Amino acid sequence: MVPKIRASRDARSHDFFHLILVIAAITIPIITILMIYEIGKGSTESIRFFGFNFFIGDDWNPNPPHGNPSLSALPSMYGSIMTTVLALAMAVPVSLGVALFQSEISPRPLRSPSIFVIEILAAVPSVVYGLWALIVLVPFMRDYITPQLKSTLGFLPFFQGPTNGLGILTAGVILAIMIIPYGSSVMREVIAAVPRSQREACIALGATNWETIKTAVLPFARTGIVAAIVLAMGRAIGETMAVTMVIGNVARISPSLFLPAETIPSVIANEFTEVAGNGLYLSALFELGLILFGIALIMNLVGRVIITKLSVKTVRH
């Protein structure tokens, strides 16, 4: 009797945990569908009024003195993409270097403290990064970095215009600082998961430490490294407070990285409290949120395609 009772209790426990896992598995898709539905429903008025014109032009004037509002998502889309690309260009090499140092090169007494520092940086709220950027980064960029870039690379359109410290470049720098802990943490775990036999085989053939990393570690871990970049990209494109505080918040499309601009999250954060009594204005902000969701989805799909292709190549080799 006792074994039968125990078996029955184990079966009920198994069924209960199976049910919990199924509920947990379907919760995220349901939440995602509900989010898309609500954002899409809120965007309906703006989509009907503006149509495709919402994606062209460079004007954002929700309350003109006469006539209908003139709203365009293009300036904020441009700002979001530019700041994300800049942040990834600066953060990915640093993140990979930090991950390789912590997993392959760092002395054992230094490894744990360095990992702890990176984890602390990942936990810092974005508004704290924004305050630090206003107090430290903006003056530093204004007084040292942007004048040097303008004097040496001023013949390029990317490095022209006034250098007051606020703009796309500063926003990209603060974004890079914010996503380095995320990227490096994931990359470190991926690199640490490379089988030790891979390293030992290279060393046995007379390879140096760098040659081992180049020929054995990085090719084996490249799929995970791309996944880390995708995660960092998702954090960068959706960042709000820190970017809002340093980008200048001006609806402008300009090749210059020194000039103020705006991103989709900064527009929503700045103007969501000003839409009382203006349903079209609110609907336009909802449509901006829908566009941001679409951009993030496309970027993640591209990342997944790259990961799949790299995985296939790794299996073939």
Q: What is the 3-state secondary structure (H, E, C) of the chain?
A: CHHHHHHHHHHHHHHHHHHHHHHHHHHHHHHHHHHHHHHHHHHHHHHHHHHHHHHCCCCEECCCCCCCCEECCHHHHHHHHHHHHHHHHHHHHHHHHHHHHHHHHCCHHHHHHHHHHHHHHHHCCHHHHHHHHHHHHHHHHHHHHHHHHHHHHCCCHHHCCCCCCCCHHHHHHHHHHHHHHHHHHHHHHHHHCCCHHHHHHHHHCCCCHHHHHHHHHHHHHHHHHHHHHHHHHHHHHHCCHHHHHHCECCCCCCCCCCCCECCHHHHHHHHHHHCCCCHHHHHHHHHHHHHHHHHHHHHHHHHHHHHHHHHHHHHHC
- 297 belongs to a structural domain: no
pLDDT of residue 81: 92
Residue type, 91: A
Res 300 pLDDT > 90 = no
- Classify residue 47: in a domain, yes or no: no
pLDDT at 6: 61
Q: Is 175 part of a structural domain of the chain? A: yes
Query: pLDDT at position 181, please?
Result: 92
In a domain, 152, yes or no: yes
Residue 1 reports pLDDT greater than 60: no
Residue 233 belongs to some domain of the structure: yes
State residue 8's pLDDT score: 61
Q: Which of 74-78, 223-227, 276-280 has the lowest mean pLDDT?
A: 276-280
* 237, 80 Cβ separation under 8 angstroms: yes
Higher pLDDT, 12 or 138: 138
pLDDT interval class at 85 (50, 70, 90): very high
Q: What is the CATH number of the domain that holds 205?
A: 1.10.3720.10
Q: Does residue 70 sit within a domain?
A: no
Predicted pLDDT of residue 316: 55
Task: Count up the domains in the chain and report the number.
Answer: 1
Q: What percentage of the chain has pLDDT greater than the value 70?
A: 91
139 belongs to a structural domain? yes
pLDDT digits (tens, 9 = 90+) for 32-51: 899 989 999 989 998 998 88
- Euclidean distance between CA atoms 300 and 57, whole angstroms: 27
Which pTM was predicted? 0.87
d(CA 85, CA 306): 17
Is residue 244 assigned to a domain?
Answer: yes
If pLDDT is split at 50, 70 and 90, which confidence band does 71 have?
confident
- The pLDDT score that the predictor gives to residue 180 is 93
Domain that holds residue 184: 77-275
pLDDT at residue 10, as a whole number: 59
